[in-house]
Structure formats: C-alpha cells, structure tokens
C-alpha cells in the first residue's frame, strides 16, 4: 500500500494551528484542529483525544466517525486503558486484541487498527491521542507513528502552558503545574517534588526528596483539606499511577485565602433555601386561597389555583431530587433493562411544564432501537436539559429534541438557539455549583446542580453526556445510552 503520510498536509495544517494560537485561540478549538491535522496527514478514518485525571479519563475531542464518543468516561481500571498507559509511548494496535468492551465496540464500527500515543509532561501522562483505521495494514505505520507522536507532544505542550487545557473538571495528573506536585512511592517517600510544591509548602526540593510526605496522603481519587502547622490550609488530591511500582501522584494548593469549602457551603445554603422557599410559599398561598375562599371562587379560578399548585409541586420535587443526588454517592434504582427510548421521550415531554412543552420540537425516527437503562430516570434527565435550554434561550425560540441510534448506542440531542456555551466551559458546566457567564444568578438563577445531576445519573446507566456549541448560535446537549 502506498504511504498515506502527507507531510505537506502536516505543515500546512500545523501552520494554521499556530495562526489560531497567535490570534488568541486556545483549548478545545485548537485541540480539535490538531485532530483534524492528524487525520488528514496520515489518512486516518477518525481521531480522538482522551484526557486523564487522577480519578479517570474522558474523551474530550474527536473527529469524523469517532465524534459520537465525546464526553464518554474512560476508567483507569479498564484493561484497554491499562494497556495504553503501561506500554510504549506510541504503538500500533490491532483493535481485536484490545481487552474489554472497547475493542468490541470499535470493531463493530468497522475500525480494526489504531495508532495511539501518550501526551506526557515530565514522564507523566495527561492524555492519549488515537488515530483509527478500517484495515489491518500497518505497512506505513512508521510515518503514522511519528506524526501521531509529534502531535501528542504538541498537545502536551498546551497542557504545560495551561492554554485552555485541561478541559476535564478535575484536570490531568500534572497539567496544573502551578499547583504543588509530588510523586510518592510505596513507602510514602517523595520521589518528585516540583518547584510549585517547594513554594506552597516552604520546603525546598533538597529537603523533600527521599523523605516522608510532609502531610497526609488521601486515598486515591479523594480530596483532603489539611491544615499545616503554620495555620495555612491545603487542598490535597492523589491518584495511583497505572503500571508497576505502586506510585502515587499528589497535587496540592494553598486554599487559605479562597475558603473554598465555606464558600460552597454558603452558596449551597443560600441558593437551595431560596429555591425551596419560592415554590413552598406559592403552594401555601394558593392552598390557603382555596381553603378560605372556595365558595366565592369560580370554577376557572379553582382550576387555575390547582394548576399552579401542581406546577410548583413539580418544581419542588425536581429540586429535592437534585439535592438528594448531589449530596449522596448515588442511590439504588431499577436495574438496567431495555426500554423504548422514543416512547419514553414522548412521555417525558408530555410531563414538562406547559410553557416549556409548547416550545419542544420532538423528532423520533421510526424503528429507533431500544436503549438500556432505567427508564424512570429519563424524565429527570430530559427535564433538566430542557429547563437548561429554556433558561438560556429566547422565550419564543424552539427547543429541538432529536433521537437517533447506531449499532452500539442510542442517543437524543437537546438543542437550543440561546446564548451558547464557550468551548472551554463544556466540561466545567458539569461541575457542581458551577454556572457560566460569570455566574450571573440574577439573569440566569439556579443552583448549578442540573447538569451535575444529569451526568451523574446518565453515567450510572453506563451512558455518557456531552455539551457542545451549536453551529450558528446555541448549545447542543447529547445523551448516549447503550443499545438494547
């Protein structure tokens, strides 16, 4: 087979990326352009980039036939992930030899070979770049390897500069180099101590290396707020590095002045107390009116009062549901089972508040495959996404819900024509209490719990959810569930 590596495309494409950076672009737009450069240079069918954090990874960018995977979580314990993180930095992989469901899913999509390269900073992985092919032929793999490895290094450089990356809420293991960073061995002794660690703790590198960590090591994937002897507070996270050696990477920052924990608590109490008080006050007012003035009210007045009470009770139920999910580690639900997604969407739309329901344009194709999950939770997901679209878009604009399916997944998209979402916010939007547009709670009130709730319950159903700006204006939220 002729060489599929087009170096001219690499030079031209990378030149355009540099122009983007020079004009002020950063983060996801630049990353997506780099993936397009890889695809055109080496003749790949599609490309994808996975960002790794201490608690796991997530597909944050993809092209062509792989774009369905954007937003999909990647577990550190998945055999395919362990294989990628522990082998050579760049490698050619037969997809049918990848252990676990990932290999089966890629094969089912007609992809039989993958060139993968890790993006590393100082020997630590912040992500991995993947190029997919529909054939087994690796006769030109060397040129492909070099291009993928080069672009992976470019992406790692973006993380080192913190130019719009990381995207994932927790951040990669070492991307936030302004934070203190340590690597600790099995015995609890420090093997790496970056300059920021020395600055945060006041302990120079020479006094830290090969000595015990000067503060507690939290369990892998957990966060610890720790007070130093001098009264300052550190927020500490840790993650176990894949591969031999039982090493832990520890990141920490000074939060003394930020008071993050108190701010979150104050925000939670203020927003939720207001959110609870409003529907309760309205319900009580209309109920008292019905009780005290029943005989003097017309039938129309009674129906209106009952309708308002019902609407406010629904709002109250949704808020309580949000609080329960956000405050616990999860709740037991129905075991995953096949269900008719189209029928479930139609039923969920029918239960939406009237003003929102009238704006919905629902498109469910005939023959839509069944999805696997908890049907009852779908109403919560659709309500949150629909309410979010309603809040951030003009009151007379349509909100489109479109369902579709493929061989592995069934999905629906909720699209609005509102203010849109900035590319660098598509992952932060799923953080608890986070709100975009400078958190203007007067113009866009809310607790910042809706999307956090959606991602949590969708991933409990072995699915995933992602956001992206809509072409032109607006936002698209996409939910994918396994196919039945």
Residue 63: pLDDT over 90: yes
pLDDT higher at 331 or 454: 454
What is the distance between the alpha carbons of residues 223 and 226, in angstroms, rounded to a whole number? 10
Same fold, 260-327 and 337-482: no
Q: What is the pLDDT of residue 130?
A: 93
Q: Rounded to whole angstroms, what are the CA distances from 377 to 22, 333, 401, 414, 450?
A: 45, 9, 17, 16, 13
- Contact assessment for residue 410 and residue 368, using Cβ atoms and an 8 Å cutoff: yes
pLDDT, mean of residues 300-314: 83
Residue 365 · residue 459 · CB < 8 Å: no
**Residue 330: what pLDDT?**
47
Tens digits of per-residue pLDDT, 198-257? Answer: 888 888 988 999 999 999 998 887 888 888 888 788 888 887 765 556 678 888 888 776
Confidence of residue 171 (pLDDT cuts 50, 70, 90): low
Instruction: Tell whether the model's pLDDT for residue 120 goes beyond 80.
Output: yes
CATH code for the part of the protein at 337-482: 3.30.565.10
361 and 390 in contact (C-beta within 8 Å)? no
Structure tokens that stand for 237 in this block: 């996270």
- Residues 6 or more apart whose CB falls under 8 angstroms from that of 32 comprise 61, 63
Which of the listed CATH numbers 3.20.20.70, 3.50.30.50, 3.40.309.10, 1.10.287.130 matches domain 260-327? 1.10.287.130
Find out if CATH 3.30.450.20 is the number for domain 180-254: yes
Q: What would the pLDDT profile of 418-438 be if each residue is shown by its tens digit?
A: 988 888 888 888 876 666 543
- Cα dihedral sign, 374-379-385-388: negative
pLDDT at residue number 173: 45
Q: Is 373 strand, coil or helix?
A: strand
Per mean pLDDT, which of 225-239, 253-267, 289-303, 357-371 is the most reliable?
357-371
Pairing of strands 337-339, 113-121: unpaired
Tell me the fold of 7-161.
Beta-Lactamase (3.30.450)
Domain residue limits, the chain: 7-161, 180-254, 260-327, 337-482
Instruction: Phi first, then psi: give them for residue 334, nearest 5 degrees.
Output: -70, 140
Strand, coil or helix: 90: strand
Structure confidence at residue 268 (pLDDT): 55
pLDDT, tens digit, for every residue of 67-77?
888 988 887 76
Across 254-264, average pLDDT: 60
Quote the pLDDT of residue 438: 39
What is the per-residue pLDDT across 6-50, written as a single tens digit (0 to 9) for each? 888 889 988 998 898 888 888 899 999 999 999 999 989 999 999
pLDDT band at 174 (very low <50, low <70, confident <90, very high): very low
Total-model pTM: 0.61
pLDDT tens digit sequence for 211-221 = 999 999 988 87
* Both tokens assigned to 395: 């009151």
When the pLDDT of each residue in the chain is averaged and rounded to a whole number, the result is 80
Contact (CB, 8 A) for 408 and 103:
no
Is a pLDDT exceeding 60 seen at residue 442?
no
């Amino acid at each position: 087979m002729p060489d599929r590596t087009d170096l001219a495309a690499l030079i031209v494409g990378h030149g355009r990326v540099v122009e983007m950076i020079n004009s002020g672009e950063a983060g996801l737009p630049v990353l997506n352009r780099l993936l397009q450069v890889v695809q055109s240079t080496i003749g790949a069918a599609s490309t994808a980039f996975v960002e790794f954090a201490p608690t796991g990874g997530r597909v944050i960018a993809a092209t062509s036939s792989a774009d369905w995977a954007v937003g999909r979580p990647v577990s550190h314990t998945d055999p395919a992930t362990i294989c990628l993180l522990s082998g050579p930095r760049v490698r050619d992989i037969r997809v049918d030899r990848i252990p676990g469901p990932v290999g089966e899913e890629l094969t089912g999509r007609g992809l039989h070979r993958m060139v993968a390269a890790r993006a590393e900073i100082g020997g630590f992985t912040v992500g991995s770049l993947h190029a997919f092919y529909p054939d087994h032929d690796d006769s030109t793999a060397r040129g492909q390897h070099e291009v993928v490895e080069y672009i992976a290094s470019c992406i790692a450089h973006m993380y080192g500069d913190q130019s719009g990356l990381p995207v994932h809420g927790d951040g990669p293991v070492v991307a936030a180099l302004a934070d203190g960073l340590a690597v600790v061995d099995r015995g609890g002794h420090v093997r790496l101590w970056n300059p920021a660690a020395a600055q945060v703790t006041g302990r120079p590198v020479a006094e830290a290396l090969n000595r015990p960590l000067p503060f507690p090591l939290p369990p892998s994937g957990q966060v610890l707020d720790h007070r130093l002897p001098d009264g300052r507070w550190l927020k500490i996270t840790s993650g176990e590095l894949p591969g031999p050696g039982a090493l832990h990477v520890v990141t920490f920052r000074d939060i003394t002045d930020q008071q993050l924990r108190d701010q979150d608590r104050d925000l939670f109490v203020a927003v939720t107390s207001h959110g609870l008080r409003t529907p309760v006050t309205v319900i009580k007012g209309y109920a008292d009116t019905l009780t005290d003035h029943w005989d003097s009210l017309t039938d129309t007045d009674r129906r209106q009062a009952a309708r308002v009470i019902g609407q406010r009770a629904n709002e109250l139920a949704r808020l309580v549901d949000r609080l329960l999910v956000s405050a616990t580690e999860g709740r037991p639900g129905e075991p995953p089972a096949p269900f008719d997604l189209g029928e479930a969407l139609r039923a969920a739309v029918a239960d939406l508040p009237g003003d929102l329901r009238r704006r919905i344009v629902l498109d469910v194709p005939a023959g839509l495959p069944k999805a696997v999950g908890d049907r009852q939770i779908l109403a919560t997901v659709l309500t949150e996404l629909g309410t979010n679209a309603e809040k951030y878009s003009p009151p007379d604009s349509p909100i489109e819900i479109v369902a579709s399916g493929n061989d592995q997944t069934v999905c629906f998209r909720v699209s609005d024509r509102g203010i849109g979402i900035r590319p660098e916010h598509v992952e932060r939007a799923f953080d608890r209490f986070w709100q975009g547009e400078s958190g203007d709670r007067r113009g866009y009130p809310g607790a910042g719990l809706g999307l956090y709730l959606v991602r949590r319950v969708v991933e409990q159903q072995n699915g995933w959810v992602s956001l992206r700006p809509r072409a032109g204006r607006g936002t698209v939220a996409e939910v994918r569930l396994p196919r039945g």
